[in-house]
Structure 1
Amino acid sequence: MTMIAELPFLPDAVIFDMDGLMIDSERVSIACWSQAARELQLPFEDGFWLQMVGLGDRDCGQLLRQRVDADQVAALLARCHDLYEARTQAGLPLRPGIMELLQLLDDHGIARAVATTTRQPRASRKLAAAGLLRFFEVVVTSGDVAHPKPAPDIYLLAAQRLGKHPTRCLALEDSPAGIRAAVGAGMTAIQVPDLVHPDQALRALGHRIVASLADAHSLLLTHLR
C-alpha cells in the first residue's frame, strides 16, 4: 500500500466539491445523459460522458457541440435536466465516510465550504435533501464566478467568503478539473477519485490521492488528536 504524505498543517478551512465527492451523483448524471441521448437517437457512446465529469455547463456544452448541432444540444440538455431532477427529488446516496468527516470538522470548529459546478438553486436543494447543507457556512457555485473549474476562481471565492487565506485551506475533490482548480488556487488538495482516475499529467501536480474519504479523515485526525 502506498503511503500518503501527512498534511503539512491543520487547515483553517476545508472546502468540499459536491458531486462525486460527497453525493454519489456522477453515476446518476451519466445515466441520465445516456438515457436522454438514446431517447433522442443521438450518436453518443456510453464512454463519452466521462469527459464531462467535474466540468461546468459551458465546457459540457462545447463538448456536445463537437458531436451534434445546437438544436440537438438544446433538446439533449432539456431532457437530461428533467431526468436528473426526477432522480434528485427521489434522493441521491452519500459517498461513504462523508458524514463522519463533516462531523469531525464540526466538532473541532473547522470552517467548511462547498465549491461546486452545480448552479443554484439545485446545489442547495441537493445538499439539503442529502442532509449536508447544515454543515456548511458557504456554498459557492459556478454561477458565482466568471470561470468555472478547472480555473481556480471558485476555490478562491470560497476561501474569501470564509475569510481564510487559500494557502491555509484544504480542498477535497474527486475530478481532475476540480483538482486543477484547487491546486491553481494555492490550496493543499486531496483527491478521492470516483469515476475518473488521475493520469500521469494530473499526478504530476503532486497532490495527495487517497482511496476513500476515510483516508482523508485519517489524515486530518493526525492533527486533531
Structure 2
Amino acid sequence: MSPAHLPFVPEAVIFDMDGLMLDSERAIIGCLAEAARELGHDLPEVLWLSMVGHSEAVCRHLLDEAIGEAQRERVLQRSHVLYEAVVAAGVPHRPGIIEMLDFLDIHRIPRAVATSTRRPLALRKLDAAGLLLRFDAICTSSDVEHPKPAPDVYLLAARSLGIEPVRCLVLEDSPTGVRAALAAGMHPIQIPDLLEPDDTVRALGHTILQSLDDARMLLEQSLLGELL
C-alpha cells in the first residue's frame, strides 16, 4: 500500500545499502553474470535476481544448486575481482539519496545503515561513494548472528542509535529487507529496484513508494503535521 501519510513521526531513519542507496545490485549481478560467462556458464537472469537482498550464504547455496560447489567458488572469486574494481571507482548513488540525507541533517534526525553486506566491504563501498561519514552507525551482517530476513541487524541499528524500534523508519528495496524490518517491529518503506513487489509482498501491508524523493516528501509531511 502507499498511504498519503506516515502513522507516526519517526525519531530515526535506518537505511539498507545495496539497491537503496547505492546502485550496486545491478553492478553485483553484472559482475556475477560476466564471471559465470567467462567460465562457460550462461545462467538465467532469474537466478541472479533471486539473490537480491539475500545474505552471502544464501547466494552461495543458490549457485551450488546451479553449477556445483567447485564452479561456484571459481565464479565468486572472479566476480569479486570484477566487483572490487567497481567499488574502488565508487558505486553510483541511487537517485534521491543525497537529498534525503541533507533533509535529515536539516532536521537533526539520526540515521544508521543496516546491510546484509559484510563489514569490510560495506565500509569500503560507503567510503568510496562518499556516504560513510553521513551516518551515525553502520550495522552489517558481520555484526549479528542471523542475517535478513531475521530482524537482528535492524534491532542492532536501533540500539546503536538509542531509539526504540517502533520509532524507527526503515528504507528498503528488497522483500527480504522489508520482512526483516517488520520482524524488528519497525515501519518499512519499500522503494523497489530490481524486484517489483508481487502479491505476496504487497500483502505484508507496508508502504511502497517509487523513489527516495517520494519517501522524503512523506517524511516531510509527517514532521510538518507534528508542528501544526
Question: Is this a same-fold pair by TM over 0.5?
Answer: yes
After TM superposition, which residue ranges in structure 1, 4 or more long, deviate above 6 angstroms? none
**Residue pair 2:114, 2:138 contacting (<8 A) in 1 also:** yes
Which sits farther off after the overlay, 205-214 or 62-71?
62-71
Residues 143-154 of structure 1: pairs in structure 2 closer than 5 A: 143-154=142-153
Residues 67-106 of structure 1: pairs in structure 2 closer than 5 A: 67-106=66-105
**Residue pair 1:5, 1:208 contacting (<8 A) in 2 also:** no
Using the alignment, how far apart are the partners of 1:40 and 1:189 within structure 2?
39
Which sits farther off after the overlay, 41-50 or 141-150?
41-50
**Residue pair 2:23, 2:93 contacting (<8 A) in 1 also:** yes
Using the alignment, how far apart are the partners of 2:77 and 2:138 within structure 1?
25
Name the residue aligned to 1:7.
6
Using the alignment, how far apart are the partners of 1:10 and 1:120 within structure 2?
30
Instruction: In structure 1, give the amino acid aligned to 2:155.
Output: L
Name the residue aligned to 1:128.
127
1:162-190 superposed Cα distances (whole Å, 9 cap, x missing partner): 11111110000001111111111110010
Name the residue aligned to 1:175.
174
Using the alignment, how far apart are the partners of 2:173 and 2:97 within structure 1?
13
Task: Identify unmatched segments of 5+ residues in structure 1.
Answer: none
Instruction: In structure 2, give the amino acid aligned to 1:139.
Output: I
Shift of 1:3: 5.5
**Residue pair 2:148, 2:180 contacting (<8 A) in 1 also:** yes
Q: TM-score, normalised by structure 1?
A: 0.96
Instruction: In structure 2, give the amino acid aligned to 1:27.
Output: R
Task: Identify unmatched segments of 5+ residues in structure 2.
Answer: none
Name the residue aligned to 2:161.
162
Identity %: 57
**Residue pair 1:32, 1:84 contacting (<8 A) in 2 also:** yes
Name the residue aligned to 2:201.
202
Using the alignment, how far apart are the partners of 1:3 and 1:70 within structure 2?
42
Q: TM-score, normalised by structure 2?
A: 0.95
**Residue pair 1:4, 1:210 contacting (<8 A) in 2 also:** no
Shift of 1:135: 1.3
Name the residue aligned to 2:21.
22
Name the residue aligned to 1:213.
212
Using the alignment, how far apart are the partners of 1:12 and 1:150 within structure 2?
23
Using the alignment, how far apart are the partners of 1:170 and 1:224 within structure 2?
13
Using the alignment, how far apart are the partners of 2:215 and 2:121 within structure 1?
27
Q: CA RMSD in A?
A: 1.2
Q: 1:3 to 1:76 in 2, by over 3 A?
A: closer
Q: Secondary structure at the match of 1:189?
A: strand
Instruction: In structure 2, give the amino acid aligned to 1:10.
Output: V
Name the residue aligned to 1:113.
112
Shift of 1:43: 4.7
Q: Secondary structure at the match of 1:67?
A: helix
**Residue pair 1:91, 1:129 contacting (<8 A) in 2 also:** yes
Shift of 1:42: 2.2
Instruction: In structure 1, give the amino acid aligned to 2:71.
Output: Q
Q: Secondary structure at the match of 2:133?
A: helix
Name the residue aligned to 2:37.
38
Q: Secondary structure at the match of 2:71?
A: helix
1:11-43 superposed Cα distances (whole Å, 9 cap, x missing partner): 111000001100111111110010010011125
Q: Secondary structure at the match of 2:17?
A: coil
